[in-house]
Amino acid sequence: MNLDMLVGLLPEHLLLAGILILLVLDLTALRSSPSLPIPLLAVAAAALAALWLAAGDYVAAPFPEQFVLDPGRAVAKAVLLGLALPVLLLAGESQSDRRFAMLLLSSLYGACLVVSAGSLVTLFLGLELLSLPVYALIVAGSGRPESAEAALKYLILGGAGSATLLFGISLTLGATGSLSMAAFAAAAVSPEPLAVAAVTLVLVGLMLKAALVPFHAWAPDAYAGTGIPVTAYMATVIKGAVLLALIGLFDGARLSPGVVGLTATLALLSAAWGNLAAMAQTGFRRMIAYSSIAHAGFLFFVLLGEPGGRQEAVVFYVLVYGLANLLAFACLPPHDDEATRDHLDRLRGLYRSRPAAAILIAVAMLSLAGIPPLPGFVAKFFIFKNVVEAGYTAWAVAGLLASYLGLFFYLRVIRIMFMDEPVATEAKAHTGVLAGIAGLVCVTAVAAVTLFPGWLLARL
């Protein structure tokens, strides 16, 4: 193993070390030892290692044309790993099973592979390693009867995405004779029918993975059928990794006119339909599921923009969108019944019983809605600024109008918490310590990004 393999793969090595330690503990007499500290330390160490590589402007190709690392990719890894920390804390409140942590670390390993993918083969393997543990996590995260159905639906959705992506990759090989990212970027601007078909299928495969309209049908069922930590992981890390895979694929490449029309149309439909469907939801997880469909639509708009500004726009968006979602999930009032914990009726009058939780959830909702000066506004601004600068002003205006549809249900949550009368008569349960720490981590990060967005953007 040379130095590039050791240093360039340091975040992945740390995650792998965490998995191995958990595996050994699970097979030995130390089975009863606490399960949270090791995965928490492994993910925190991996995130710090990624930040260290980014700060040192480390550039390497441990496996040439297969796995590459540069400061931008290192920051993207740090963002995904950092978002996983609150998820682990939330899971620590309800999950003592060490296998749950092993599955989560395995999925994070896949996320890191996706970000550093230098070829379509590595990208595909990374996406599979990212997705496969999640099917088991959906069942393990709740244990409710509907969890099996949710996992099956997510498996079919993910399987269809993988098959479509693999078909597109095979056509890319036929059109270009290579599976490198550079060959795919060349195919993206080629007018040849085989190249257009290859790019379209790869794009549709990623749209299935990101649950864009019209490939979204079972995603809300999967989100609602599992526990809150897994829902938070799916809405933030999984969604963010798929969008970062998209940016890696089209790195430096513009879309051909035909693919622009398909991408913009489905992105707009997702943004509009996701927000409209979220208005009718009575559960917080289903509302966030449809909200994530809308936000995935906004992120696909980035492909219309100039290639140079895509990476920083998407990484910033994934960070602020993930933090807002995790903050809201961390502040949900506790309840013994996982299925009804997130029902919106339980939030009625929350400000009177838990004012801090209500205020923090309100901050998260306003950031997701894109209200200034919260970081959600800056994230949307950068996405649509790039679209306008590329000359697609009409699509940018349509996307912004679709984003305003989301104001209704984000503000509805705030109205329920601050203006409705409390209806709950149940005894007041105490928020867990780990959930409180997760909320504190998220609100600190949101405050830092709100106060210093320019400092962060300069380092993306």
Mean per-residue pLDDT, 270-279: 91
What are the distances in angstroms from CA 460 to CA 51, 116, 276?
11, 15, 33
**pLDDT tens readout for residues 136-177:** 998 886 767 778 888 888 899 889 999 999 999 999 999 988
Mean per-residue pLDDT, 218-223: 85
**pLDDT tens readout for residues 248-269:** 888 767 777 777 888 899 999 9
Strand partners, 180: 119
Q: How many CB atoms lie within 10 A of CB 146?
A: 13
Read off the pTM. Answer: 0.91
Which residues make Cβ contacts (< 8 Å) with residue 113, sequence separation at least 6? 12, 67, 122, 125, 126, 129, 130
Mutual orientation of helices 193-210 and 257-279 as an angle, nearest 10°? 20
**pLDDT tens readout for residues 30-58:** 666 667 889 999 999 999 999 999 988 88
